[in-house]
């Protein structure tokens, strides 16, 4: 008895277990649609074989002989492989042959007859034609019976194939698969990256983003060792929101989290939830979370979540979208609602966190907001090292110099620079990618392609040279202006000339620094008015930047004498579409302050250019002659610049810190010779930095 009970228990243990529960039978198999196809096919074949009306009359061999001898047959088709013949009755003999059925066979007057042999039929008809001189045509058909049947069934087979193809397309099994069919419209379109499939992305593949990687490391630790947190009473983090500009590596960081945790990774875009059918978005959300729960622990990554997570309108009748809001409501319910999502962590990415719904951002849904900013100097060096691995470079390539030449570049931009440099070197049929190729790639990405064949008159060329020389002159004599790298009057993209600077990566910016930048931007227009006598349209981009910066200083940063410490900036992202937060009088005051600020800096630019007019004219002449000048040309004309860049200062501080640390570790007395040697080392490093900035 005990053995029997034990066997029953073992049999129960062997039953399949449903993913969603313990010990419950598996899901019932759905009805296979191919049974419908089989029934329809059999019905069509039956109709073809048994349900069709006879369109030809069968006659005996003796009757056929009579019809031939009486000249009632027009032509005969003899089937060699069937021992059958098909004869066409003459029009005037239709009533005689078919009798009461003549009306039905009048349009198709054919008769079928079983023949004794092909030679017998041929001999009989030849004898009749020779004796009575009848005009009877005889043809022979060698087609086999099998192929004849196939040909007769061909239209119906094509119809069946077309029907099956249409049904598969409707079910999503055709070219649109993966939930593209009408019956699978509510299924999730998430792409699954399983732990056993493909190449995994880890934190080693993510260069820079050190702070962001530290924050997501805790999520990885939880997925690997959840007991360490739950034993202490901690709860599972529901999700993390990655916020940052495009191309900074948000998606890559999310994939690295999944790769490090070694768990299934569901990736989907926010726009994939939106469809023209009502209720599809909510259905796809439910299906996505269902799949994630079945494979838990797992990660759901929603890219561009602002497509479905936009803040809901307070006015139901204005700028509302019921379908999008229903999708958002379902997402909120799945993330926090009445159900438990144990083992499922949601990662999302957006570059517009200010427009997301507040209910989505609260604790318990997205517990953390991880900011993924543009890479700084050290991060850009790491990113360059990653993207330079597959590229054949020579000794002239300096990673630190490239990192300093690309301020404000995202990780995607740096990858584009490396790829563009390789393409430029390949077009030049080089064996290695050199420093010049990378600089050309940076210039092309920033300024566009060179247009050396563009037709420019000598007067236009002189005006452009005076304009660009004005920018270069002011940047040399303004303390807080960005250091100049090179100036060119060769057209690039939409610009007729361009000046390259090395922007200072400041954490905060003072009013004096902004004023110097505005003055340098106005140097081109001021030079045109002073040395040409008229202004041109070439300063449009400069004026646009100056105007925006002036309005930002007055309306946002409170840097106005008449309107101090006032900011009308809306950090919530709602924007003042219909009603501004200030009166018309205040708006007029803002406009006047902006005009006064720009006029002041314009007059300052003119005064500086008048003071250094001789050097400016020499610089413009050199620019007309060479079409491109560097920082060393300005140093030969104006002398050494009074101020060093922020990069020089940071480098000097780092060297002094390193020397102090090394001296303290050695615990030795520093001799005067060693002091002199240390100073020489610092000077050498500063010279190298100046060469990196000035020489291209």
Please give the positions annotated as active site.
468
**Cα separation, 311 vs 306, whole angstroms:** 9
Is there a contact between 88 and 73 (Cβ–Cβ < 8 Å)?
yes
| DSSP characters over 472-503 | HHHHHH-TTSPPEEEEE-S-BTTBS-EEEE--
46-63 b/e (C-beta count within 10 Å ≥ 16 → b): eeeeeeeeeeebebeeee
Is there a contact between 284 and 330 (Cβ–Cβ < 8 Å)?
no
Cis peptide before 383 (omega within 30 of 0): no
Cβ atoms < 10 Å from Cβ of 350 = 21
**Cα separation, 640 vs 288, whole angstroms:** 64
Alpha helices (H) in 171-298, listed in sequence order: 210-224, 227-230, 250-261, 280-294
| DSSP characters over 278-289 | TTHHHHHHHHHH
Cβ atoms < 10 Å from Cβ of 405 = 22
Is there a contact between 386 and 402 (Cβ–Cβ < 8 Å)?
no
Q: Count CA atoms within 13 Å of residue 594 on its CB side.
A: 21
Q: How far is CA 375 from CA 254, 413, 503, in A?
A: 17, 11, 14
**Cα separation, 244 vs 643, whole angstroms:** 34
| Residue carrying the six token digits 């041929």 | 122
**Cα separation, 385 vs 393, whole angstroms:** 11
Helix-helix angle 435-447:411-427, to 10 degrees: 120
Burial degree of 329 (CB within 10 A; 0-12, 13-18, 19+): middle
| Residue carrying the six token digits 């009632």 | 72
Handedness of CA 63, 65, 69, 73 (dihedral sign): positive
The DSSP call for residue 310 is: B
| DSSP characters over 556-583 | IS---SSSTT-----TTS---SS--SS-
Print the SS3 string covering 47-92: HHHHCCCCCCEEECHHHHHHHHHCCCEEEEEEECCCCEEEEEECHH
| Residue carrying the six token digits 């490396």 | 418
Q: Is 525 helix (H, G, I), strand (E, B) or coil?
A: helix
**Cα separation, 432 vs 428, whole angstroms:** 10
Is there a contact between 487 and 620 (Cβ–Cβ < 8 Å)?
no
Is there a contact between 78 and 138 (Cβ–Cβ < 8 Å)?
yes
Is there a contact between 273 and 308 (Cβ–Cβ < 8 Å)?
yes
Helix-helix angle 511-521:540-551, to 10 degrees: 160
- Terminal CA-CA length for the chain: 92
Q: Is 26 helix (H, G, I), strand (E, B) or coil?
A: coil
Cβ atoms < 10 Å from Cβ of 262 = 15
**Cα separation, 368 vs 508, whole angstroms:** 26
For residue 689, the Cα-to-chain-centroid distance in whole angstroms is 38
């Amino acid at each position: 008895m005990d053995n029997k009970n034990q066997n029953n228990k073992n049999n129960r243990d062997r039953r399949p277990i449903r993913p969603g529960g313990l010990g419950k039978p598996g899901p019932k198999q759905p009805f296979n649609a191919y049974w419908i196809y089989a029934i329809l096919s059999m019905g069509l074949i039956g109709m073809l074989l048994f349900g069709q009306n006879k369109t030809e009359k069968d006659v005996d061999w003796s009757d056929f002989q009579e019809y031939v001898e009486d000249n009632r047959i027009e032509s005969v088709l003899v089937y060699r492989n069937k021992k059958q013949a098909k004869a066409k009755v003459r029009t005037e003999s239709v009533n005689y042959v078919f009798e009461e059925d003549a009306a039905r066979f009048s349009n198709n007057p054919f008769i079928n007859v079983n023949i004794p042999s092909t030679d017998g039929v041929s001999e009989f008809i030849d004898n009749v034609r020779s004796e009575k001189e009848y005009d009877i045509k005889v043809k022979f058909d060698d087609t086999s019976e099998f192929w004849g049947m196939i040909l007769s069934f061909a239209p119906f087979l094509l119809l069946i194939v077309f029907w099956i193809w249409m049904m598969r397309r409707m079910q999503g099994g055709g070219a649109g698969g993966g939930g593209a069919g009408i019956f699978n419209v509510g299924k999730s379109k998430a792409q699954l990256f399983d732990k056993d499939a493909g190449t995994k992305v880890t934190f080693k593949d993510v260069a820079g983003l050190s702070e962001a990687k530290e924050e997501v490391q805790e999520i990885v630790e939880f997925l690997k060792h959840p007991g360490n947190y739950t034993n202490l009473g901690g709860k599972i983090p529901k999700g993390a929101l990655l916020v940052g500009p495009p191309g900074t590596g948000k998606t890559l960081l999310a994939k690295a989290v999944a790769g490090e945790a070694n768990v299934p990774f569901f990736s989907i875009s926010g726009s994939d939830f939106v469809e023209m059918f009502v209720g599809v978005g909510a259905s796809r959300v439910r299906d996505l979370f269902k799949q994630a729960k079945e494979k838990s622990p797992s990660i759901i990554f929603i890219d561009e979540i602002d497509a479905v997570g936009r803040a809901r309108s307070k006015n139901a009748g204005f700028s509302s979208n019921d379908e999008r809001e229903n999708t958002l409501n379902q997402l909120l319910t799945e993330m926090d609602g009445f159900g438990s999502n144990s083992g499922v962590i949601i990662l999302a990415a957006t570059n517009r966190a200010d427009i997301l719904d507040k209910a989505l951002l609260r604790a318990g849904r997205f517990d953390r907001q991880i900011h993924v900013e543009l890479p700084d100097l050290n991060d850009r060096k790491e990113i360059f090292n990653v993207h330079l691995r597959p590229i054949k470079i020579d000794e002239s390539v300096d990673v630190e110099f490239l990192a300093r030449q690309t301020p404000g570049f995202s990780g995607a931009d740096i990858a584009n620079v490396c790829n563009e440099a390789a393409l430029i070197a390949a077009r030049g049929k080089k064996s290695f990618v050199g420093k010049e190729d990378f600089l050309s790639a940076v210039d092309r990405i920033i300024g566009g392609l060179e247009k050396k064949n563009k037709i420019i008159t000598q007067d236009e060329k002189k005006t452009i040279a005076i304009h660009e020389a004005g920018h270069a002159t002011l940047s040399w004599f303004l303390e807080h202006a960005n250091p100049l790298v090179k100036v060119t009057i060769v057209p690039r993209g939409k610009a007729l000339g361009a000046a390259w600077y090395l922007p200072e990566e400041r954490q905060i910016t003072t009013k004096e620094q902004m004023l110097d930048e505005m003055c340098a931007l106005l140097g081109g227009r001021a030079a045109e008015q002073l040395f040409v006598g008229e202004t041109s349209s070439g300063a449009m981009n400069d004026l646009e930047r100056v105007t925006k910066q002036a309005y930002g200083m007055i309306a946002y940063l409170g840097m106005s004498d008449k309107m101090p410490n006032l900011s009308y900036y809306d950090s919530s992202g709602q924007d003042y579409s219909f009603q501004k937060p200030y009166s018309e009088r205040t708006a007029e005051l803002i406009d006047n302050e902006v005009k006064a600020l720009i006029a002041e800096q314009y007059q300052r630019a003119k005064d500086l250019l008048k003071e250094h007019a001789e050097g400016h004219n020499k610089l413009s002449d050199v620019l007309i002659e060479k079409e491109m000048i560097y920082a060393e040309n300005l140093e030969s004309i104006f002398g050494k610049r009074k101020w060093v860049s922020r990069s020089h200062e940071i480098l000097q501080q780092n060297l002094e810190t390193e020397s102090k640390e090394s001296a303290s570790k050695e615990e030795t007395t520093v001799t005067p010779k060693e002091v002199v040697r240390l100073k020489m080392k610092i000077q050498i490093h500063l010279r190298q930095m100046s060469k990196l900035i000035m020489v291209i």
